[in-house]
Amino acid sequence: YRLDQLIRASIGYFWGFPRSQLYSEAERLVRRGLVAEEREADGRRRRSMTITESGRDELRRWLEVPATDPTEIRDIGLLQLFFADGGDDPGAAVERLAAAQSRAHREQLRIYEELLRAGVVVDGSPQRATLEFGLRFEQLALRFWAEIGPAPGGTDDG
């Protein structure tokens, strides 16, 4: 449970990680000797996990090879936009979609700005850089959806 919370409060902002995968992946890491597990003997039988030296070595190897795969965009809003002309009133559908997407991206931008104000990441750190990317992405998305169909009540999207 705690690991799930940590993921949601950190990489969960840019890397979808289903809770069901969390448990299976943890088991796989234990089997490979990359993580050591301790389990409470009674009560809730909570598990505590710690990265092993082999796990640290594997992490270092992984970090040494820069990612070169193209970025995947998996966005339901974009999928609906692509197929919008299949409905009864494509223009209205696009306007509703643009308004809803603008609200969603405005809210995510607010969350990122709050994280920035709260100082949860250190200036100049890799974690700060990922937060900065998130901020820029949300700003870009807001501009995109404003061009597609302005949200009701104006186009002040930050």
Task: Enter the pTM of the model.
Answer: 0.79
What mean pLDDT comes out for the span 30-47?
Answer: 89
pLDDT score for 158: 47
| Greater pLDDT, 64 or 16 | 64
Helix (H/G/I), strand (E/B), else coil: 38:
strand
pLDDT score for 15: 84
pLDDT score for 150: 60
| Contacts with 103 (C-beta within 8 Å, 6 or more apart), sequence order | 151
| Greater pLDDT, 14 or 100 | 100
pLDDT score for 31: 96
